[in-house]
Amino acid sequence: MSPSWLCSASLSTRSARPGSLAGADSGVTTVSWTPDGRHIVFERGENEGSALYRVDADGSNPERLTPDGGDAYDPAVSPDGTQIAYARGTDLYAMGADGSHSKVLTHGDLEERDPTWSPDGREIAFVRGYDPELEDSELYVMRADGTQLRRLTHGNDIEREPAWSPNGAWIAYEAFPNAYVVPAHGPGKRRLVTEALESPVWSPDGRRLAVVEDQTMIKIVGLTPRSVQRFAVTDDQLGPNDVQTAPTDLAWSPDGRQLAYALDGSLYTLTLSTGTTRRLTDAT
């Protein structure tokens, strides 16, 4: 395996015309790209709750997908683009891509979060026992209709944010302070990939993992051959005395050219070839 190399990019931040989202809120958190690359679905905190929205890839035409008066978290668009899995209350749900025909998938007492679809759309991996104060959560996999539940991990970590590899063989996840991969089916041990704050996500070709390394850095780890790239990201709206939070919930565009992510409540994209970031929505 060839030696790792480091490429640090100094990024310019170019703001788009942020999408119009009425009312003050706590901003964008979880994001998911549609498979055609035309839209980004995201969670937005508002009125002490959360709702799911969809915007065009340039940040225009925001559309609310979930109704007023109910929380919705962690959207994940299915590989065929027809469904969105998400969390509500303690359970997981699925709905049509336009927000219609919502149905419950799980009926557990423990909180379930972070759903992610297998590449063939037949299974969903997720986190059960999502409570940082308990310092323990596990990864599970079920059929896309909520049946045939099986436990994937048996550890003492807070395991979060599973992400299926494009070939369906591996699931990457974050267990602070590292990112791991574990076989999605059959026997095998988990493998340490890299240090990471959160958000491991596979490139469309399955050769790289993008992770959040720290408050100002997104890291891309090449698996074959081994390599490391780092992209510094900053919030162009922060004042001199403000403290930046870390980027959250990376989502790779279907063509592999961009990453979408949330930072300090706004939705951004990062173009990998140029290192340019673009703000698509405004937190306020």
Under the banding of pLDDT at 50, 70 and 90, the label for residue 149 is very high
% of residues, the chain, pLDDT over 70: 87
pLDDT of residue 157: 82
Structure tokens at 27: 């901003």
Integer CA distances (angstroms), 35 to 110, 204, 251, 256, in order: 31, 10, 11, 11
Residues with Cβ within 8 Å of residue 79, at least 6 apart in sequence? 35, 117, 118, 119, 120, 121
Enter the pTM of the model: 0.87
pLDDT of residue 253: 97
Structure tokens at 132: 């940082």
**Is residue 123 a contact partner of residue 140, using CB atoms and an 8 Å limit?**
no
Average pLDDT over the chain reads: 86
pLDDT of residue 24: 47
Task: Classify domain 6-281 at the CATH topology level.
Answer: Neuraminidase (2.120.10)
Closest by alpha carbon to 59, among 86, 100, 19, 20?
Answer: 19
